[in-house]
Copies of this chain bind each other. A is one copy, B any other.
Amino acid sequence: MRFFGYERKAQDGEARLGVLHTGRGDIRTPAFMPVGTAATVKAMLPQSVGETGADILLGNTYHLMLRPGAERIARLGGLHKFMSWDRPILTDSGGYQVMSLAKLRKMSEEGALFRSHIDGSEHMLSPERAMQIQTLLGSDIQMVLDECPAFPATEAEIEKSLMLSLRWAVRSKQAFSAEPGQGVFGIVQGGIYPHLRRRSAEGLREIGFDGYAIGGLAVGESQAQMFETLEAVMPHMPKDRPRYLMGVGKPDDIVGAVLRGVDMFDCVLPTRSGRNGQAFTWDGPLNLRNARHAEDTMPIDPDCRCPACRQFSRAYLHHVVKANEIIASMLLTWHNLTFYQDLVQALRDAIAGGEGARFEKSFRARYTAEKSVESVT
């Protein structure tokens, strides 16, 4: 039997090197979690996701509750067995997608009443139901249901929303029925207002969670605003619990956030960009659709260990991107997930060596050198 808990191995400024122990295995932190929305990391076999170095992936409660359904997944033996992934899975609570994807019918103290974007069927997502679904899925890290205000929002709107989220956090914690080795995370809200972030963090600490996420960022604010918010909230986050920055982000976002004390990340960027013909490199992103790659016999990155770089030229990738071939999504997703895992490994190495600040400086210099930057949507 293994228990859930965070172990800090080293500290370098605010940056932390650690291990998050779960019943299904250890997660090396800082960690990047690939997004497996509908029980699949798009365009990847789960074994390949593991080969990139991912210790954990993320599943989306909203998508899974609608299709194929949480009760059905439970009858089929849980999400891990269903999607053939035996390492840890973190599930979100569904709140963010209810706001962004569903036709919202009514938000109340009870929860969110909405219609499915797939078939129009009506569903109620309450804090209790969100936890029940995550338990049915067999999630190793479960997230409380919170309300996610849009950006920009007024201070009053943010405050009202975070107070509702705190009441929901109490109910979520009460509804969480842990198996040994599973944990539940609270989510700090408060927009870009330091005193609201502090109130949210303190409220969640009083309830007591196994980890603390920072929500409501990467919703349209600048990177500078995001980093300022992280600096404001971090003093109020427990040092003995993992810290998870939800939905972030670009490689330079991740480096900056790790240097400010974040341990965990998830983002669709490497997978979605891969399906759009874009590849991340240490010299900045590449758009393989660009005609300048049409006869380039070099791989994306000669030092990369992924199949796209070991077996194929930029010219080939350009061709299959232009021809909308599935192999383009497969190879570029694999490459991008490998890059993100290599990035967090490099961050872990840097923190272990007390070289975090130096790493950030050299990373930024190379990543943003003007010659190599191509737009990534």
Chain A residues in the interface with B (C-beta under 8 A): 38-40, 42-47, 67-68, 72, 75-77, 82-84, 294-295, 297, 307, 311-313, 315-316, 318-320, 322-323, 325-327, 329-331
Contact = CB atoms under 8 A, between A and B. Distances in A.
Given A77-B297, A297-B77, A323 B38 contact: yes
A355 to B, nearest CB: 36
B323 A326 contact: no
A325 B82 contact: no
Contact of A316 (B43, B47, B83, B312): B83
Contacts of A77: 297
A42 B38 CA distance: 22
A325 B83 contact: no
Contacts of A311: 46-47, 84
Contact of A326 (B43, B47, B295): B43
Given A83-B316, A315-B82, A76 B43 contact: no
A228 B248 CA distance: 64
A324 to B, nearest CB: 9
Given A84-B311, A327-B45, A294 B72 contact: yes
Contacts of A83: 316
Contacts of A313: 76, 82
Contacts of A84: 311-312, 316
Q: Across chains A and B, which 8 residue pairs bring their CB atoms closest together, nearest first?
A: A84-B311, A43-B326, A40-B327, A68-B319, A38-B323, A40-B325, A76-B315, A82-B316
Contact of A67 (B40, B45, B322, B330): B322
B42 A323 contact: no
Nearest to A82: B316
B45 A319 contact: no
Most buried by B among A39, A82, A311, A327: A327
B325 A326 contact: no
A326 B329 contact: yes
Nearest to A46: B311
A43 B295 contact: no
Nearest to A297: B76
A319 B67 contact: yes
A240 B52 CA distance: 49
Contacts of A319: 38-39, 67-68, 82
Contacts of A46: 311
Contacts of A72: 294-295, 315
A330 B320 contact: no
A47 B330 CA distance: 13
